[in-house]
């Protein structure tokens, strides 16, 4: 079913935040979906956006869905719209934070659902960051978003904390080439293992060093891959 | 051991602060924008065809602007700072990049540039910048940056917060000693090679040394107790000099 997206107003944001809080205290209440359409808690957008409520297999699918939904629209005014991104998180809340058989849920931190005013926490938003990555990098973002909608992986945890790296096409392209396993349709085994050479943390250390002498934005995927030390050999795609 | 960003095995040229002038303006709806003027010195020439970028940043957020080539800079259509966390001072990084020969290599760069007018004369003379900002439920906090004097951020929900700090004995008595202690702790844990002649670290150390009745511990000193003793002594002397407790008590009696 297709629904026209809205934005939560201040009351709606407070009510949703309070609900997430209650879940943490053991509440088994269902998601407050009435906030999505109740004019006391949400309002219409200036830009008409339709989204569907079909189940997604992965976060990447959420991103793809939104890329399609936003196609041809000027999303600039909505980029930082807390009410809009939070509305989407509530709309898909049962997928982002599914209830167990007894109705209980294990919510992540609030900023995973409610877009934070703190810019350090913004990249943790489950929907906005997913869309940004898929919109910008397409299938190159698969290695970060191949998990179920309710799961965040170590790879995205590591990279999302470094917003600068996430904005560099060559860096993301190289990381995708290193860590995405098309056969498993997810990241390669060992990519997050701290014991394994060439793991994601080592890559971040390497990029931090490279950033001292290179402008990472100017480097292509090929450039970054060409500069990697030998320890990444096991992850490098066969040529 | 401190790790500093001073590795320069590629011969990257350092762009001086006098070579770039950045001025902040208003892009509307409370969003700032900036203008940049470049006056690259000819003593160490920069290749005219090298690409020129400015990156605005604060904490974990950054936004990049393409200014064309170093020889003929052209500002981008918009320099509105729409992706920057504006809760603190926006700093600027200038990069001159080789995109012809050794692709992506930094030919010249400058870090931590501040926009003109973003540091008032008062700021330049004082040991601390004071700002009001959205701090949620926190009343105040300190912000540190290697290139800027520490900033004491006051919650902008407090009416006339800056005036309160300068005039209200409650504010002064309860906030300032903690601020001084926190800054000195930061300086000691982070000084390393940075206590150079014109750094703010040095200015704070000189200030505290002037106050403290005991000698500052050796920078190599690793005993935290010695360090804490010295900081305590400096803070006590500061509080005494400004009669922080007496003024607070007098204010209480008046009310």
Strands (E), chain B: 13-14, 20-26, 32-38, 51-58, 61-69, 91-98, 105-114, 129-133, 140-145, 148-155
Dist. CA B219–CA B223, nearest whole Å? 11
Report helix, strand or coil for A149: coil
**pLDDT value for A239:** 63
Is A206 an interface residue toward B (CB < 8 Å)? Answer: no
Across the interface, of B7, B9, B62, the residue whose CB is closest to A164 is: B62
d(CA B195, CA A211): 25
- Residue found by looking up tokens 């090298």 in the block: B50
Q: pLDDT value at position A228?
A: 94
pLDDT tens for each residue of chain A, 239 residues long: 889 999 999 999 999 999 999 999 999 999 999 999 999 999 999 989 999 999 999 999 999 999 999 999 888 788 889 999 999 999 999 999 999 999 999 999 999 999 988 777 888 899 999 999 999 999 999 999 999 999 988 888 888 778 889 889 999 999 999 999 988 888 888 888 888 899 999 999 999 999 989 999 999 999 999 999 999 988 887 76
**Cβ contacts of A110 within 8 Å, gap of 6 or more:** A17, A20, A21, A116
Q: What is the pLDDT of residue B209?
A: 84
CB of A79 less than 8 A from some CB of B? yes
ipTM over 0.85: no
Integer Rg of chain A from CA: 19
* Closest of B80, B89, B136, B94 to residue B117, by C-alpha: B89
Q: Is the pLDDT of residue B115 over 90?
A: no
Contact between chains at A163 and B60 (C-beta distance less than 8 A): yes
Min Cα–Cα distance to chain B from A212, Å: 7
Residues A134, A141: contact at Cβ < 8 Å?
A: yes
Residues 6 or more apart from B200 whose CB is under 8 A from it? Answer: B127, B148, B149, B150
Per residue in B133-176, pLDDT (tens digit) is 888 889 999 988 777 789 999 998 999 998 888 889 999 999 99
pLDDT at residue B123 tops 70: no
Which chain A residues are within 8 Å of B15, Cβ to Cβ? Answer: none
The confidence score (pLDDT) of residue B117 equals 64
Instruction: Flag if B61 and A119 touch (Cβ within 8 Å).
Output: yes
Domain ranges of chain A: 1-137, 153-239
**Mean pLDDT, residues B57-72:** 89
Gyration radius of chain B over CA positions: 22
Q: What is the pLDDT of residue A186?
A: 84
Please tell me the distance from the alpha carbon of residue B56 to that of residue B76, in angstroms, as a whole number: 14
B63 in Cβ contact with B12 (< 8 Å)? no
Residue A219 Cα, gap to closest chain B Cα (Å): 6
At CB < 8 A and 24+ separation, what contacts does A57-61 make?
Answer: A57/A148, A58/A145, A58/A146, A58/A147, A58/A148, A58/A149, A59/A126, A59/A130, A59/A145, A59/A146, A59/A147, A59/A148, A59/A149, A59/A151, A60/A130, A60/A134, A60/A141, A60/A142, A60/A145, A60/A146, A61/A149
Q: Are A90 and A6 in contact (CB under 8 A)?
A: no
Q: Which of A121, A127, A116 is nearest to A67 (CA)?
A: A127
Collapsing DSSP states into helix, strand and coil, what is residue B158? Answer: coil
Residue B198, classed as helix, strand or coil, is coil
Kindly provide the b/e burial profile for residues B61-100, where b requires at least 16 CB atoms within 10 angstroms of the residue's own CB: bbbbbebebbeeeebeeebbbbbbbbbbbbbbbbbbbbee
**Nearest Cβ partner of A219 from B58, B59, B104?**
B104
C-alpha distance from A164 to closest chain B C-alpha (Å): 7
Let me know: does B32 contact B38? Beta carbons within 8 Å.
no
The tokens for A5 are 């997206």
In B, which residues are within 8 Å of A214 by CB distance?
A: 104-106
Q: How confident is the model at residue B6 (pLDDT cuts 50, 70, 90)?
A: very low
Per-residue pLDDT for B1 more than 90? no
Chain A residues touching residue B84 (CB < 8 angstroms): 119
Q: What is the pLDDT of residue B194?
A: 44
Full-model pTM: 0.70
Mutation target to probe the B interface, by most B beta carbons within 10 A, among A168, A218, A224, A225 is: A218
Contacts of A218 in chain B (CB under 8 A): 51, 97, 99, 103-104
Q: Which residues contact B122 (CB under 8 A, 6 or more apart)?
A: none
CB A119 within 8 A of CB B60: yes
Buried b (16+ CB within 10 A) or exposed e, A156-186: bebbbebbbbbbbbbbbbbbbbbbbbeeeeb
Residue B87 pLDDT > 90, yes or no? no
- Mean pLDDT to the nearest integer, B56-61: 80
pLDDT at B5: 38
**Which pair of structure tokens corresponds to residue B169?**
């004995």
Question: What average pLDDT does this structure show over B22-48?
Answer: 88
């Amino acid at each position: 079913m297709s629904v026209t997206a809205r934005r939560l107003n201040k009351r709606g944001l407070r009510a949703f935040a309070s609900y997430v809080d209650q879940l943490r205290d053991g509440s088994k209440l269902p998601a407050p979906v009435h906030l999505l359409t109740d004019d006391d808690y949400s309002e219409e957008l200036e830009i008409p956006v339709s989204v569907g409520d079909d189940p997604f297999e992965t976060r990447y699918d959420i991103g793809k869905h939104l890329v399609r939904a936003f196609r041809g629209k000027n999303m600039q005014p909505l980029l930082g719209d807390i009410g809009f991104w939070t509305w989407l998180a509530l709309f898909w809340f049962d997928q982002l934070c599914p209830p167990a058989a007894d109705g209980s849920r294990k919510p992540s931190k609030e900023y995973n659902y409610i877009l934070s005013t703190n810019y350090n926490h913004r990249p943790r938003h489950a929907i906005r960051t997913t869309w940004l990555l898929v919109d910008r990098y397409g299938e190159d973002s698969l290695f970060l978003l191949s998990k179920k909608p309710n799961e965040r992986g170590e790879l995205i945890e590591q990279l999302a904390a470094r917003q600068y790296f996430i904005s560099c096409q060559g860096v993301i392209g190289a990381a995708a080439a290193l860590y995405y396993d098309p056969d498993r349709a997810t990241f390669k085994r060992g990519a997050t293992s701290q014991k394994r050479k060439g793991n994601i943390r080592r890559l971040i250390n390497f990029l931090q060093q490279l950033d001292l002498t290179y402008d990472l934005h100017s480097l292509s995927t090929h450039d970054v891959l060409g500069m990697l030390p030998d320890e990444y050999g096991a992850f490098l795609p066969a040529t | 051991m401190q790790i500093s960003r001073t590795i320069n095995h590629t011969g990257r040229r350092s762009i001086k602060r006098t070579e770039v002038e950045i001025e902040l303006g208003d892009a509307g709806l409370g969003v700032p924008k900036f203008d940049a003027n470049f006056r690259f010195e000819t003593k160490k020439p920069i290749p005219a065809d090298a690409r020129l970028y400015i990156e605005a940043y604060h904490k974990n957020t950054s936004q990049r602007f393409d200014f064309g080539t170093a020889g003929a800079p052209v500002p981008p259509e918009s320099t509105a700072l729409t992706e920057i966390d504006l809760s603190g001072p926006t700093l600027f990084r200038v990069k001159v990049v080789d995109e012809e020969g050794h692709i992506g290599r930094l030919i010249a760069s400058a870090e931590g540039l501040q926009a003109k007018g973003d540091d008032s004369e008062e700021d330049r003379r004082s040991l601390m910048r004071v700002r009001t900002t959205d701090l949620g439920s926190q009343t105040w906090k300190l912000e540190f940056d290697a290139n800027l004097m520490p900033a004491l951020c006051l919650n902008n929900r407090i009416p006339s917060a800056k005036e309160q700090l300068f005039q209200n004995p409650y504010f002064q008595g309860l906030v300032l000693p903690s601020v001084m202690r926190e800054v000195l702790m930061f300086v000691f844990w982070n000084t390393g090679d940075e206590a150079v002649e014109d750094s703010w670290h040095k200015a704070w150390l000189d200030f505290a040394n002037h106050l403290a009745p005991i000698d500052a511990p050796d920078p190599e000193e690793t005993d935290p107790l010695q360090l804490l003793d010295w900081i305590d002594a400096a803070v006590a002397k500061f509080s005494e000099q400004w009669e922080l407790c007496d003024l607070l008590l007098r204010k209480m009696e008046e009310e």
